[in-house]
Every structure is written in C-alpha cells, then in structure tokens.
Amino acid sequence: MTMTGEQPWSEFWQGETDEASVASRRASTAFASLWREWSTELFEQQSAPVILDAACGAGSVSREVIAAAQQADPVIVSVDIAYSALKKLEDAPVLRATADAAALPFAEGSFDAIASQYGVEYAGQEALEALPALLAPHGRIRVLAHITDGAVAQECSDNLTVLHSLRERELIQRVSELFQALRGLRPDLESCDAAFRQVAQACGREVQTRACPASTYAQRLFQDCATVLQRNQAYDPKDMQLWFEGQAQSIEAYAARMSAMLSAALDRSQIEMVLQAWERHGMADCTVKPVYAAADDSPAAWRLDAVRRS
C-alpha cells in the first residue's frame, strides 16, 4: 500500500491546524526519550554522522537529534513528501528535501544513520525493507512504525467512522441547500430545513459516541455551519459556495489520511518480513518491540532497530 500522495499531507501540515499540531506534539512527547537515547549512542560512536530523517513530517525526530547533539556536529537530512511539513523546519539546522519515501533520491551508503517516526511505512512495506541500502558500513537504523490494533490505529478507526458519517450523510451538501433556500435561491425551504435537521441529528449522535479528534473537528464544523445559517444574509452566495466546496474537500482529505494510517499499520508477520529483508541487506542485531505511549493500554508503535555490518 503506497502513500495517498502529497495533497492530503500538505493540507495536514499547512498552517497550524489543530489536527496537525496536536498529533505532532503528542507523538513528539511520547517518543522523545527514545530518540534522545538513540542519538546519544550514535554520537558516542561518531561526532559528525550524516543522518536521514525519512518521511520526517514536521521534524520532531530531527529536533530531538539536534537537542542530543551537544558537542557533536551531525548533518541531518530531513525528507518528506509534503513541502508544507518541511517548512516547519525552516528554523532548524537541517538540509531539507521533498521526496516520496518510496523513491528516496540518494545513493547507496549515503548515511551513517536513518530514523523514521510514523513515516516510511506510508510508502509501503517495500520502502521500509529498502532503507538499509542507504546505510554506510556500521550504519544504524531506528524506525517507529504504525502497529495494527494499537492505540493510534483505534483512534484512526474512530476518526474515520465520524468522517464517514459526515461524508455519507452529505452534511455539507445539506447545509449548502438550506443556505440557498434561506437566501431565496431555491423554493423548497421547508424540505431543505427538514433534511438538514435529520442529517445534523444523525451526525451528532455519531460524534457524541466517540471521543476522538474527528469528533472535535466535527463539533467545530457544526458550529461554523450554524453560524453560516443564522447569519446567511451576511454572506455572499458565491463566496459561500467556495466555502462549502472547501469544507467537503477537507473532510475527504482528513478521511484519506486516516485511511492511509490504517493501511500503513503493520502486523507481526509484516514486521518479521521487514526484518528478514534487512538481514538480507547485511543488517545485524535486528530487533523489534512494541512501544507504549503514556497512559495507553495498547501499543502505539513498533520499534525496529538494526546495525549494518562492515
């Protein structure tokens, strides 16, 4: 399963959306100590390693490596498919490159270390298996990858259920129709109002049964729609049509990201296949273990570690 493409992730990282900032901050907090420990061990062996942060997102791993450097002088190459994600690293001493993790534009043996957090697996299992080819002799790799049936996967599933409710019940379409009727642009005000109320109630019930980020997103959307309807005379119909289209596209993009996360999650058998491929690439000390975030009963990620033989 490959990435959903650049567009959904560009929207995710564009600006400071609640969804992006909360997700990034939570992952950074949960896994920070793992990256500090990994980086410290790396710097004890090499004072100026060349490090790849693959599918880096907003760069939480890159920043943890920088924080651990102290007297070391690493060269950090931060790569992501979304330029809007890389822009969040403008203030960091890293080299930035836009690229799909399924086709990283680097020669074999280019890096002394490779890191990835919730990243490369979006490009498919094959992309994970191919990473060791980019390592120099004695190079090391650490990957934190999505895990099936874990805490993050459950949250993604809940998010997707809420988003499907908004999409399949055509909430935005019903709001658009009612807005037009209120503005006298269509004659069926009563039926539009009834259709909107029915959809809003059904979506509201779905939101109330799930405590997840998409429910918070939906509640804000409900509030915005209510404002538009209550103040309908204050808005230009042409402008509002663009707004309605934008909201529908945002729901689609959000759902695409959640589907991609669920598709990217790996089970035990898939992880074992990745490690076997790494061993064929000359990797040693290949290990995998589930990682738990604070207060989660279910694992949040797989942690994969290995070192390339000389």
Whether 9 has a pLDDT exceeding 70, the answer reads no
Give span(s): CATH 3.40.50.150, the chain. Answer: 6-148+265-308
Strands (E), the chain: 50-54, 75-80, 95-98, 111-117, 135-145, 283-291, 301-308
Whether 2 has a pLDDT exceeding 50, the answer reads no
Superfamily of the domain at 6-148+265-308: Vaccinia Virus protein VP39 (3.40.50.150)
Mean pLDDT for the stretch of residues 277-291? 95
* pLDDT tens digits, 153-162: 888 899 999 9
Mean pLDDT for the stretch of residues 69-79? 95
Query: What's the confidence (pLDDT) of residue 256?
Result: 87
* Mean pLDDT score across all residues of the chain: 90
300 near 146, Cβ under 8 Å?
A: no
Whether 296 has a pLDDT exceeding 70, the answer reads no
Whether 202 has a pLDDT exceeding 60, the answer reads yes
Q: Is the pTM of this model over 0.75?
A: yes
> Residue 109: left if φ>0, alpha if ψ -120 to 50, beta else—which one?
left
Query: What's the confidence (pLDDT) of residue 20?
Result: 44
Query: What's the confidence (pLDDT) of residue 18?
Result: 46
Query: What's the confidence (pLDDT) of residue 24?
Result: 47
Query: What's the confidence (pLDDT) of residue 219?
Result: 94
Distance from C-alpha of 64 to C-alpha of 155, rounded to nearest angstrom: 25
Whether 5 has a pLDDT exceeding 70, the answer reads no
Whether 279 has a pLDDT exceeding 90, the answer reads yes
When pLDDT is cut at 50, 70 and 90, the band that residue 19 belongs to is low
| 52-56, 108-112, 204-208, 222-226: the lowest-pLDDT one | 204-208
Mean pLDDT for the stretch of residues 62-75? 94
| 1-5, 55-59, 169-173: the lowest-pLDDT one | 1-5
Cβ-defined contacts of 9-12 (< 8 Å, 24+):
9/80, 9/81, 9/82, 9/84, 9/85, 9/257, 10/82, 10/83, 10/84, 10/85, 11/84, 11/250, 11/253, 12/82, 12/84, 12/85, 12/253, 12/257
High-pLDDT (> 90) share of the chain, %: 76
Burial 56-80 (b: 16+ CB within 10 A, else e): bbbbbbbbbbbebbeebebebbbbb
Cβ-defined contacts of 268-273 (< 8 Å, 24+):
270/125, 271/145, 271/302, 271/304, 273/125, 273/129
Query: What's the confidence (pLDDT) of residue 50?
Result: 98
